[in-house]
Structure 1
């Protein structure tokens, strides 16, 4: 059994296939003992990679994108979440809500786990021809604090993770979910990556086996009624009603949250445009510059799980990525 250390930016329901793969022995069947740590603050994942304390990091693809050729080069090798797991809450009933209603209003957005919340929501506004600069944002506070303040009357809308939104609505009849963003198209929301220069053939083999198990976890989540493993959901997310967890899993299942470890090109390109418009990258980074899809493609074939939407083909057998020189910002 080989140890494969993972450092993750949080503990989230959109990571469910990984938790299932862990709990159901899928990683062990591939000869891997996956050990996960969650640093505080979240950007400690980069320190763990640099110190060789972790073999891979799990988080938003915006991090390796904005770091590339500025601080450190990272290579992304797989995804777990294919869509945005956020929800938009409002005061009062949600009937008749339109995204254009947000214009000129105040939106609270949690930011403790990084920039993804604001990046996606503002991209969504731009895609719908809504001036994101015409909205007021409060986003430099803890998510729990913002949730309490929103329920107390601060702001007009609140963007938070889907599971927290469902739990809040179950407890508070004065707020409602105006939009669940899992319905708003593909983006590689949560991905696995490591430093490009330290990616060896041995690491690539571990990545492939990791992706085999992850693909099986994805298949399990997509084909299994979450009510049948409610006890596991309660153990994984003890601070929310299990009914809310089940509802969110079913929402994710029906809206392509979990498709494949292979990152689809269309969603990747969309997110890169969003990062460019947010000024995190000067120009969209080509898929094959940032992503080595070889381990995931080989794993999907081995696991006999559909890859979903087409991604750029691997250039033959999995190869070690070329070494890259990091530059200080």
Structure 2
């Protein structure tokens, strides 16, 4: 059995296919003993893959994009989440939310765990005809503090993870006015990447990993989440199992989990957002960044 450790930037419901593939023995059937950890601060994932402590990092594709051509070569080879697991909480009712009305508003969103949230919200603003420069942002605080401040009256909107947004709404802290995992469209939100291009042995390992991950996705798509509430409760003890099952079924229905292959069109869209966020000098061509070999079998699906 070959050890395969994932150093992840979080422990999230949108990573569910990995957890299911461990639980159901799909990785084991590929000869892999997959384990995971979440270092703090999150950017230690880069040290973990650089030192060999981990075989892959799990997080945003903006990191490999940002380092491309700048002394480091981080290579994404598989995707676990194809949508942003975020929501916008506002003070109005959902039916009253209007993107063109965003200029002059204050949007709070955490910036302490990477750039993805801000990049994605600003991409959506541009796609809806709003210049992000006309919107005010609070991005220098952590999520819990921002949530408390929003409930206390600061700002017009709060962007947080979808489970926390629904929990906040249930407690009377605001209204979920945009479920971005439903309305936000496809982007390669969470990907696995290595430090450098894989050699033949690494390619074989990553291919087996991607194949088992794909089986985890297929299993989720074939099974209503109500049937494995106990597993969800064990995996995410912070949240109510009924709530987790409902959210997992929403993710199933709305395309969070497709295949481990990074979709070229979704990738190109996200590259526009990453470039517009000034992390790259130009959008990076798919083949220049992605190692598509481990997921080649999924290309025809």
TM-score interval, normalised by the smaller of the two chains: over 0.9
Q: Name the structure 1 match of 2:200.
A: 201
Per the alignment, in what secondary structure is the counterpart of residue 159 of structure 2?
A: strand
**Residues of 2 paired with 1:175 and 1:218: CA distance?**
33
Per the alignment, in what secondary structure is the counterpart of residue 146 of structure 2?
A: helix
Which is worse superposed, 91-100 or 79-88?
A: 91-100
Per the alignment, in what secondary structure is the counterpart of residue 95 of structure 1?
A: helix
Normalized against structure 1, the TM-score is what? 0.88
Structure-to-structure mapping, 1:1-329, within 5 angstroms: 1-172=1-172, 174-182=173-181, 183-197=183-197, 199-298=198-297, 300=298, 307=301
Per the alignment, in what secondary structure is the counterpart of residue 137 of structure 1?
A: strand
Normalized against structure 2, the TM-score is what? 0.96
Per the alignment, in what secondary structure is the counterpart of residue 257 of structure 1?
A: coil
Aligned-pair distance for 1:111?
2.1
**Residues of 2 paired with 1:236 and 1:92: CA distance?**
33
**Residues of 2 paired with 1:245 and 1:100: CA distance?**
32
Conserved? CA contact 1:2–1:32, under 8 Å: yes
Which is worse superposed, 216-225 or 56-65?
A: 216-225
**Residues of 2 paired with 1:130 and 1:295: CA distance?**
38
The unaligned stretches of length 5 or more in structure 2 are none
Per the alignment, in what secondary structure is the counterpart of residue 151 of structure 1?
A: helix
**Residues of 1 paired with 2:169 and 2:245: CA distance?**
15
Aligned-pair distance for 1:92?
4.2
Conserved? CA contact 1:76–1:193, under 8 Å: yes
Conserved? CA contact 2:92–2:177, under 8 Å: no
Conserved? CA contact 1:10–1:113, under 8 Å: no
Conserved? CA contact 1:167–1:241, under 8 Å: no
**Residues of 1 paired with 2:24 and 2:240: CA distance?**
23
Per the alignment, in what secondary structure is the counterpart of residue 94 of structure 2?
A: coil
Q: How many residues align?
A: 300
Aligned-pair distance for 1:243?
2.4
Aligned-pair distance for 1:279?
0.8
**Residues of 1 paired with 2:170 and 2:102: CA distance?**
23
**Residues of 1 paired with 2:71 and 2:165: CA distance?**
35
Per the alignment, in what secondary structure is the counterpart of residue 27 of structure 1?
A: helix
Aligned-pair distance for 1:107?
0.6
**Residues of 2 paired with 1:97 and 1:271: CA distance?**
24
Aligned-pair distance for 1:71?
2.9
**Residues of 2 paired with 1:244 and 1:103: CA distance?**
34
**Residues of 2 paired with 1:244 and 1:132: CA distance?**
33
**Residues of 2 paired with 1:72 and 1:28: CA distance?**
32
The unaligned stretches of length 5 or more in structure 1 are 308-329
Conserved? CA contact 1:110–1:143, under 8 Å: yes
